[in-house]
Amino acid sequence: MHKTNTTTPIDLSRYTADAPPAWWRHLNAMDVLYALATLGLFAYGGMKNRDLMDYYEVIILMGGALTAVAIGWFWRPLQIVFACVAVLSLSAVALYQGDLARGEAVFGLKYMLASQPAVMWMSVLFVLATVMYWVNVFFDKPTLGWMASRLAYAALVLGSTALMVRWHESYLIAADVGHIPVSNLYEVFILFSLLTTAFYLYYENHYQTKQLGPYVLLVVCMSVGFLLWYSVARGAHEIKPLIPALQSWWMKIHVPANFIGYGTFSLAAMVAFAYLIKYVGTPYDALPKAFRVSNTNESSTEDLMSQYARKTRVATVVLWVLGALLFAEPLMFRGVQFMATYWAIYFAVGLVIIGAILMARRHLASKLPDFEVLDDIMYKSIAVGFVFFTIATILGALWAADAWGKYWSWDPKETWALVVWLNYAAWLHLRLVAGLRGVFSAYWALIGLVITGFAFLGVNIFLSGLHSYGGL
């Protein structure tokens, strides 16, 4: 059998940029200007809305400002993203002139900067970026890879602008209607898409590889498909007042932390999928020794290759089934006949995509980074997600105590959040203690997306409880 762990140190230096010096040594004038502009913008927003904020929300605003500065310093491309979002958002605010009706009358709002058009542009850009990433896999041209990344960045900018403008639009309806746009599935699916893309782009930049973009952005395109359905079938793009349970400052910190976890878990799962594609698509004699079948009975090379061929055939079938599961869950949505047809087409397209990837596995495997790089990204994504999901779970318990009088009630959403947490806690424990690596860990990370998907959506579809306000 192939080995699933190793104690050999992994050298990733040829994939990563040189380690930067201590943060206070590499700051420059642009970093200082960015920090001043960010703090000034947050201060302006706080002063303008001071009558609507309580003590806790002021603390959250200050924490958000410092966080924006810190991550902009940590990863400089976000400074440009944040600057573009600020310019576009302020332009939309200026065009509205305090009148929500102008969203249907002013050209720049109706077709570009109002929240719903911005979401549509984001969706188009995500699809174009995904297509361009796949084209780059087969033609491997630097220009194509550059275009794919820039389209993904553009989608990140438009999606973030959509959320900022939607926030402003909610206050234009009425002061008591205004709220941060993370209150329903429509809004958090946008957030999920943006966070997953942002983390992917960071790893793409850090490891100097664009070959994972086609896989990671598939899960983002799945979210885009949901957004289109949710807008048409449920009118979810309409801004509605919050129910009493959501009228809390806890929502501003619990939901974003939760979806950093969901986004990075999904990123890890798609990297795991790429890892398994590389495994089943790599010829036996080109595999690292850790993946070769152990020759315990002095079998001939032909026998070993035959055993490996059987394993990869089984792995290919398993990958196809897991891919089908990821696309099958929406078939359970309740709705009119048109929407049932929509999800049937969605499922069929998903099967075709998974099937095409598996058919082209040999070519795709040759383009993917080394197993060590894929394993490192998978581990770091799960580690980051686990930290934020843990924080979100603690914040959720505190919010529950504030709203319902008890920290934990074994509500279906809470129970499945615990299942997700235990799943990744076990994965990390076995990696750190037992050296879990290889194909088994990749399968586990991919199955984790099915578990996470059910906790995210399945509970809302099939179960009810205190969190039923997020139902479909």
The H-assigned helical ranges of 140-249 are 142-173, 185-207, 213-234
Q: Around Cβ 143, how many Cβ atoms within 10 Å?
A: 9
On whether residue 6 sits in a domain, the answer given is no
* Residue 77, phi-psi category: left (phi > 0), alpha (psi -120 to 50), beta (remainder): alpha
- Taken as a whole, the chain contains a residue count of 472
Q: Give the pLDDT confidence score for residue 412 in this predicted structure.
A: 84
Q: Which residue has the higher pLDDT, 139 or 51?
A: 139
At 116, the pLDDT band (50, 70, 90 cuts) reads very high
Q: Give the pLDDT confidence score for residue 438 in this predicted structure.
A: 87
Euclidean distance between CA atoms 407 and 403, whole angstroms: 9
Residue 21, pLDDT > 60, answer no
Cβ–Cβ under 8 Å, residues 274 and 319: no
Whole-model pTM over 0.85? yes
Report pLDDT digits (tens) over 436-456.
888 899 999 999 998 998 888
Q: Give the pLDDT confidence score for residue 295 in this predicted structure.
A: 53
Q: Which phi and psi (to 5°) does residue 436 adopt?
A: -60, 125
On whether residue 10 sits in a domain, the answer given is no
Euclidean distance between CA atoms 237 and 116, whole angstroms: 7
On whether residue 217 sits in a domain, the answer given is yes
On whether residue 24 sits in a domain, the answer given is no
Euclidean distance between CA atoms 116 and 193, whole angstroms: 15
Instruction: Find the farthest-apart pair of alpha carbons in the chain and give their distance in angstroms, rounded.
Output: 80
At 119, the pLDDT band (50, 70, 90 cuts) reads very high
The proportion of the chain whose per-residue pLDDT surpasses 90, expressed as a percent, equals 52
Q: Which residue has the higher pLDDT, 320 or 3?
A: 320
Q: Which residue has the higher pLDDT, 407 or 95?
A: 95
Q: Give the pLDDT confidence score for residue 7 in this predicted structure.
A: 40
Range of the domain at 351: 31-242+251-470
On whether residue 462 sits in a domain, the answer given is yes
Mean pLDDT for all residues in the chain: 86
> To which residue do tokens 């959320």 refer?
163
The proportion of the chain whose per-residue pLDDT surpasses 70, expressed as a percent, equals 87
Residue 466, pLDDT > 60, answer no
Rounded to a whole number of angstroms, the distance between the first and last alpha carbons of the chain is: 45
The stretch 174-203 carries a mean pLDDT of 92
For the record, the structure tokens of 236 come out as 């979810």
On whether residue 427 sits in a domain, the answer given is yes
Euclidean distance between CA atoms 375 and 220, whole angstroms: 21
On whether residue 149 sits in a domain, the answer given is yes
Cβ–Cβ under 8 Å, residues 455 and 417: yes
Q: Give the pLDDT confidence score for residue 16 in this predicted structure.
A: 59
For the record, the structure tokens of 460 come out as 């809302």
The total number of structural domains that make up the chain = 1
| Lowest-confidence pick of 148-162, 380-394, 440-454 | 440-454
At 242, the pLDDT band (50, 70, 90 cuts) reads confident
